[in-house]
Chains A and B, each alone.
Chain A
């Protein structure tokens, strides 16, 4: 179990995260918040790149800072701004990272091509990465995160640069992988996690806002989300969520805290509704 206990992170007088407590036991955890909410700070602390100002992060009861390489050998990390050696091929790059991850050469020789096949880069294993598209680079990043078969897979905005087909493939892959490990997926794209996350963690105002199953989170807006083609006729105070154009008309989906407007049709709230509503007062 990976436990984050009352972790606070401050930079001088600026507080990035305050008193965060979360336990990760297994499955996919979606870290869902707008940009700048502290997701990446938390992720980097889990990846040992940053150190908490107060509080502790424990892996199987021991502080990760003290565990050092024993902790790092069970994590796989894909950063948000994934850098790479442009003059190398993915095979070369992964071999280097495999060495850093303590994987012996013969094992790496077997694993690297396997992983590259898995992320559909089998044909370009030996092509220099300077020629790759953004999506291909991202897939290299996913492959390297899995090199050491990590018990904790930490992915920061992993679907950036992936096309819809790749996104679906990625979601399926994560779902598969999460069977016997912890997957922490940080994103601001709801569709990335709404079908695969076992739990969704939302941060607001630097603090933990909620840590629950997607169903429970959606339930918090139960009976409050509506859709209508005639938004002008809704008199009650409401908060618009999304809208869609069709045949010159606009279908507006909105939240209304007070009662059921006649002109609108109640709908089942989804995670995106909750996301938009929870963060409505933040500039996104």
Chain B
């Protein structure tokens, strides 16, 4: 075991760690920070996420008909009262000939507004007007989606269903009323976008950290010493263990750091919310909650990163020097990044690419598992082969 830790010390080389830390920071800045700094992204998304959270807090995980009616009525009344208050107190409205909410409503349907009317209209869309009009739009969006799901959305989904499996799933959703789950699609999409980019970063970080080990040892002919030591050729086994353990640790570190940053978005309030919802754009194969989706994501990420590390181990063993190693890693990274996109964009939904390509639901873990199995089997083969191979000074 101490040999494994010794090998890990070689992997966790300060210079490389510093560079990885820098790369992570820069990657965060370019690809991840947007999803933190711009969540919710402007209006009316801010309002409709706000309302979704309110619905969750007031009515629990699902929104029944009576609860829906109550919410809409109450909220609309409150909003109209708020807008009326602004209309009465702010002179821009009188200047545009608006004296009540009904007058304001009439502006919405019109193509051409006078300048005064324009100013009045935009006041309720702005901070001055408490974003009231955006709130109204958000409320209407909720109304539309709740009403439309059984009336329009579901029938369209049914008619566009590609096969019987999809139809059966959609039928089940309608039967059990699963669509009444409260799950906001801005929240879901924000999580998906962040998770995909984090997965790509994790793969990149793992590849960067563990790849050089074997090449560096062989370059220094350390392998000759190692092979003649008591440990003998099983050193490669220990190195594989060190590589996998390092990948595990690094993935954990990244999940903790970037997960903590993501938690500041406050989306964990939806932890128990079912993903299939009238408020979400996607249909999921399973009755999965947001929290379950996150847990599965984490598990799959570990599987993928461990597979990645194993592949890096193989590439490292097959490379004469660090440059040829990099030349091999780049296309492998390209493929893995693509796989991250396939697996982690709307996983377990009817819209996921892996399902669309294979026609089999729930194949996403299989893809990650495939990377893991391929990497680990190739690594184990290399380790076994090493026991017999002639050790020349060069790569055999």
Contact = CB atoms under 8 A, between A and B. Distances in A.
B322 to A, nearest CB: 15
Nearest to A87: B394
A132 to B, nearest CB: 8
Interface of A: 86-87, 130-131
A29 B42 CA distance: 81
7 tightest A-B CB contacts, nearest first? A130-B394, A86-B394, A130-B392, A130-B393, A86-B393, A131-B392, A87-B394
Interface residues of B, number: 3
Contacts of A86: 393-394
5 contacts: A86-B393, A87-B394, A130-B393, A130-B394, A131-B392
A66 B392 CA distance: 42
Contacts of B392: 130-131
A113 to B, nearest CB: 24
Nearest to A128: B394
Interface string B383-395: 0000000001110
A132 B393 CA distance: 9
Contacts of B394: 86-87, 130
Contacts of A131: 392
A267 to B, nearest CB: 39
Contacts of B393: 86, 130
B112 to A, nearest CB: 77
Contacts, number: 7
A92 to B, nearest CB: 15
A155 to B, nearest CB: 22
A131 B394 CA distance: 9
B65 to A, nearest CB: 77
A193 B392 CA distance: 32
Nearest to A131: B392
Interface string B312-333: 0000000000000000000000
A87 B320 CA distance: 11
Nearest to B394: A130
A86 B221 CA distance: 13
A86 B394 CA distance: 7
A87 B392 CA distance: 12
Interface string B158-182: 0000000000000000000000000
A284 B393 CA distance: 28
B221 to A, nearest CB: 10
Nearest to A133: B393
A235 B135 CA distance: 106
Nearest to A86: B394
Nearest to A137: B393
A248 B327 CA distance: 63
A87 B393 CA distance: 11
A88 to B, nearest CB: 12
A131 B392 CA distance: 7
Interface string B289-331: 0000000000000000000000000000000000000000000
A56 to B, nearest CB: 35
Contacts of A87: 394
Nearest to A130: B394
Nearest to B392: A130
A131 B396 CA distance: 11
B182 to A, nearest CB: 65
A201 B162 CA distance: 89
A128 B392 CA distance: 12
A263 B386 CA distance: 58
A227 B394 CA distance: 48
B202 to A, nearest CB: 36
A131 B390 CA distance: 12
A133 to B, nearest CB: 10
B224 to A, nearest CB: 11
A134 to B, nearest CB: 9
B86 to A, nearest CB: 72
A191 B171 CA distance: 93
A86 B393 CA distance: 8
A116 B4 CA distance: 45
Interface in B366-396: 392-394
B197 to A, nearest CB: 41
A147 B16 CA distance: 41
Nearest to A132: B393
B218 to A, nearest CB: 11
A130 B394 CA distance: 6
B330 to A, nearest CB: 23
A59 to B, nearest CB: 34
A131 B391 CA distance: 11
A93 to B, nearest CB: 14
A89 to B, nearest CB: 14
A130 B392 CA distance: 7
Contacts of A130: 392-394
A260 to B, nearest CB: 47
A90 to B, nearest CB: 15
Nearest to B396: A130
A39 to B, nearest CB: 22
Nearest to A134: B393
B391 to A, nearest CB: 12
B195 to A, nearest CB: 45
A221 to B, nearest CB: 38
B253 to A, nearest CB: 34
A56 B392 CA distance: 43
B194 to A, nearest CB: 46
A191 to B, nearest CB: 26
A130 B393 CA distance: 7
A86 B218 CA distance: 13
A130 B396 CA distance: 10
B228 to A, nearest CB: 14
Interface in B29-60: none
Interface in B220-250: none
